[in-house]
Structure 1
């Protein structure tokens, strides 16, 4: 027999705050002051932006730039716009309902549905962790010549590093992420300056080109960029970590929190857009211009950068950015894993146990493939991880759009007509493109 829904539209009352150890732990100034409040809310957006520049996105950006020059910049721009809308819905859900997306699913759906959603989410987090391992392993090989197999084992050590900062406080985690993003930004700024891209072509590429749809190859890569941009675990993560801010849990306090959190999220995702666009621009200005249109692999891209640009630092900065990207993503993946486990089934593990479980699930296939197939196998594994993420994406977006469009749950904060239509439109587009991508990838049409 189903429980009667509460007065706020949920099947069950939510009695446990998300990430209870850091819930409402970051102080927000009470006095009026835009910049101080904005600084207080700055951080969650950076953690979310990490998912949009992880190693899983690099291959599609490199392939897009190598084959079609600057033409697919418009696809990155559109996908970033989609991300801004969806992350806005996620932060709004967390602030208004004081639930992360996992808790909201548990309090809305029957136990069996909630359990299935949890299993799917855990698989996607393991797949994401797999992509992060591969990115870090490839970077270690490129920077220090460490064999793939040893690199896989080394990535297990980052558990201790992450836990150290986790115990220090949430602001420490945000500072580490900001530092790594800054590292990536500096590396790609150097690469862009060295590659001397054509400014007019960049501006032209941001405008959608009908040729993208007409050419089957460019259309397929575009689907890959769009489909792999929004990470499902980011929606769970954002709806939780925004609650680390100590804002008044009143209507006015929530309005203020949504305002500043939206600014933080939008600016951070704009930074992610720059980095993703930079990867494609560098690929277009080097490989496409030099006639290497078949480059679609991280290792091949690294090998060609030095001779084309004539600088040994180009390859170093490329690998350093890849390492920073992998380490950043693994940190946010840890938090997401904790959030979905606590949110869906209300079970808490010590952080080091939770991290170890997630990492072991990802390390085993990475180790087996690296031993049997080497570099080529890890690249294929990277593609498989993106397929798994694509499958899970629909199961995160649909509940999110549904909850934030429910007036009984959201009250005065419910999505307006325009936002509701836009959100469902984006959902339908992403779901269809992901299904198309999965179907063609399974058939070997890459």
Structure 2
């Protein structure tokens, strides 16, 4: 009876659970122990945090730190706040309506609109996968000297690795992601200690500075940081994987699930904020301080780290973090692709087929560009992938904010007035900034 109550307001009934093979597969303790319940809900937030520290974010953070020191830390902080709000809405949609965002779109919009949204989402996932490939390829070149073209081919092997962990259970995937995030954290902790940043300027940089808006170039980079922070596939992903928890599907159970899932998400995104901020801080403490104010390329940043810091380990840790970032994003991208395809068109492929399709779409352009243009071409391709993601973002945020603000769909869990105003405000800001970023990028203005 409870499920019917929350089916009000939808055009179609949801007949299949999201990610059915792992739906309600992670047990949640029945007793009232806070820490045990929090541990049971810990995991989805880490998978989401991966999207906020993927290789696509590195270039803007490096550019911001090298050109403007610590000033743009406030932009990363604001972007992270936006992400916390939007991911809260995504997990709430999944818990309350027992639909992921793709299923919700299919059950709300007409078949034509749903089909268009699906195509746009598939393009964005392929673009995201492209960024992951490039990040991993550059890391392999930096660590082992593997040529770009061969690196592209090697990244195809990760399909087998992902399938292995998927067969073991969802907790195994979460553990792998946690281990890779820990690797990234250790690497950047070493880099921060080695770069010896100044504490007071860092604290000052977290406070918004009017100069950010006054200077057209800093404003442009700020838009790049803000506009590319929230990954559209993360909203689909979070609304699905939160349903892997075996909480009671009752109003009380859903309220409990929202509470602990939000804590997990907020803490995980705070970790993502630290890592993104660390990239900018290292860039500011090394490149900006040494007068290298035009560093905006991952490869250039790697070349300059060793001589500036005087340690050969600096470049190794930087490349290792990049490789972990790329592989982590690959894991979450695979799941997002499965969720989107099953949710929008209700067609279920075997995981290896789904992964192969997504990876081939990304590998083909990466291979062509690497052969024709080499290292510089792959960097440009990374920028293009971020533009595609920016275009798609609004098509994910608007339905999410609309659904969670609809009392017929959400019942007593509908967004309150403050959250509703905040969510639509964030949506409008991201939409306008992404349009501005796209417009200027197409015109070649940097």
**TM-score normalised by structure 1 residue count:** 0.99
Q: Distance in 2 between matches of 1:420 and 1:71?
A: 30
| Residues 349-402 of structure 1 deviation map (CA, whole Å, 9 limit, x = unaligned) | 000000000000000000000000001000000000000000000000000000
Q: Distance in 1 between matches of 2:371 and 2:2?
A: 50
Q: Give 3-state SS (helix, strand or coil) of 1:51's partner.
A: helix
Distance apart, 1:193 and its partner CA: 0.2
CA contact (8 A) 1:45 1:268 kept: yes
CA contact (8 A) 1:5 1:12 kept: no
Closer/same/farther in 2, CA of residues 309 and 408 from structure 1, 3 Å limit: same
Closer/same/farther in 2, CA of residues 440 and 407 from structure 1, 3 Å limit: same
CA contact (8 A) 1:5 1:11 kept: no
Distance apart, 1:8 and its partner CA: 1.2
Distance apart, 1:337 and its partner CA: 0.1
Q: Give 3-state SS (helix, strand or coil) of 2:12's partner.
A: coil
Distance apart, 1:7 and its partner CA: 5.5
Q: Give 3-state SS (helix, strand or coil) of 2:2's partner.
A: coil
Q: Which residue does the alignment assign to 1:28?
A: 28
Distance apart, 1:32 and its partner CA: 1.0
| Residues 177-232 of structure 1 deviation map (CA, whole Å, 9 limit, x = unaligned) | 00000000000000000000000000000000000000000000000000000000
Closer/same/farther in 2, CA of residues 436 and 313 from structure 1, 3 Å limit: same
Distance apart, 1:5 and its partner CA: 12
CA contact (8 A) 1:366 1:378 kept: yes
Q: Distance in 2 between matches of 1:101 and 1:39?
A: 25
Q: Distance in 2 between matches of 1:174 and 1:144?
A: 28
Q: Distance in 1 between matches of 2:7 and 2:311?
A: 64
CA contact (8 A) 2:6 2:411 kept: no
Distance apart, 1:172 and its partner CA: 0.1
CA contact (8 A) 2:66 2:295 kept: yes
Which stretch of the first structure deviates more once superposed, 365-374 or 5-14?
A: 5-14
Distance apart, 1:6 and its partner CA: 8.9
Closer/same/farther in 2, CA of residues 26 and 3 from structure 1, 3 Å limit: closer
| Residues 287-312 of structure 1 deviation map (CA, whole Å, 9 limit, x = unaligned) | 00000000000000000000000000
Give the number of aligned pairs: 446
Q: Which residue does the alignment assign to 2:430?
A: 430
CA contact (8 A) 2:136 2:323 kept: yes
| Residues 308-349 of structure 1 deviation map (CA, whole Å, 9 limit, x = unaligned) | 000000000000000000000010000000000000000000
Closer/same/farther in 2, CA of residues 107 and 277 from structure 1, 3 Å limit: same
Q: Distance in 1 between matches of 2:411 and 2:436?
A: 36
Distance apart, 1:144 and its partner CA: 0.1
Q: Distance in 2 between matches of 1:112 and 1:152?
A: 35
Q: CA RMSD in A?
A: 2.2
**TM-score normalised by structure 2 residue count:** 0.99
Counterparts in 2 of 1:180-195, with a 5 A limit? 180-195=180-195
Closer/same/farther in 2, CA of residues 413 and 191 from structure 1, 3 Å limit: same
Closer/same/farther in 2, CA of residues 430 and 207 from structure 1, 3 Å limit: same
Closer/same/farther in 2, CA of residues 254 and 2 from structure 1, 3 Å limit: closer
Q: Distance in 2 between matches of 1:59 and 1:316?
A: 18
Closer/same/farther in 2, CA of residues 143 and 207 from structure 1, 3 Å limit: same
Distance apart, 1:429 and its partner CA: 0.1
Q: Distance in 1 between matches of 2:442 and 2:355?
A: 30
CA contact (8 A) 2:195 2:286 kept: yes
Closer/same/farther in 2, CA of residues 433 and 347 from structure 1, 3 Å limit: same
Q: Distance in 2 between matches of 1:200 and 1:232?
A: 35
CA contact (8 A) 1:130 1:362 kept: yes
Q: Give 3-state SS (helix, strand or coil) of 1:402's partner.
A: helix
Closer/same/farther in 2, CA of residues 4 and 177 from structure 1, 3 Å limit: closer
Q: Distance in 1 between matches of 2:37 and 2:2?
A: 43
CA contact (8 A) 2:2 2:250 kept: no
Closer/same/farther in 2, CA of residues 46 and 2 from structure 1, 3 Å limit: closer
Closer/same/farther in 2, CA of residues 369 and 418 from structure 1, 3 Å limit: same
CA contact (8 A) 2:87 2:238 kept: yes
Q: Distance in 2 between matches of 1:79 and 1:3?
A: 35
Q: Distance in 2 between matches of 1:235 and 1:307?
A: 41
Closer/same/farther in 2, CA of residues 4 and 204 from structure 1, 3 Å limit: closer
CA contact (8 A) 2:6 2:408 kept: no
Closer/same/farther in 2, CA of residues 186 and 419 from structure 1, 3 Å limit: same
Q: Give 3-state SS (helix, strand or coil) of 1:23's partner.
A: coil
Closer/same/farther in 2, CA of residues 267 and 4 from structure 1, 3 Å limit: closer
Distance apart, 1:3 and its partner CA: 19
Q: Distance in 1 between matches of 2:273 and 2:254?
A: 28
Closer/same/farther in 2, CA of residues 82 and 184 from structure 1, 3 Å limit: same
Q: Distance in 2 between matches of 1:322 and 1:426?
A: 29
CA contact (8 A) 1:131 1:385 kept: yes
Give unpaired runs (5+ residues) of structure 2. Answer: none
CA contact (8 A) 1:6 1:12 kept: no
Distance apart, 1:2 and its partner CA: 25
CA contact (8 A) 1:51 1:231 kept: yes
Q: Which residue does the alignment assign to 1:210?
A: 210
Closer/same/farther in 2, CA of residues 118 and 7 from structure 1, 3 Å limit: closer
CA contact (8 A) 2:44 2:265 kept: yes
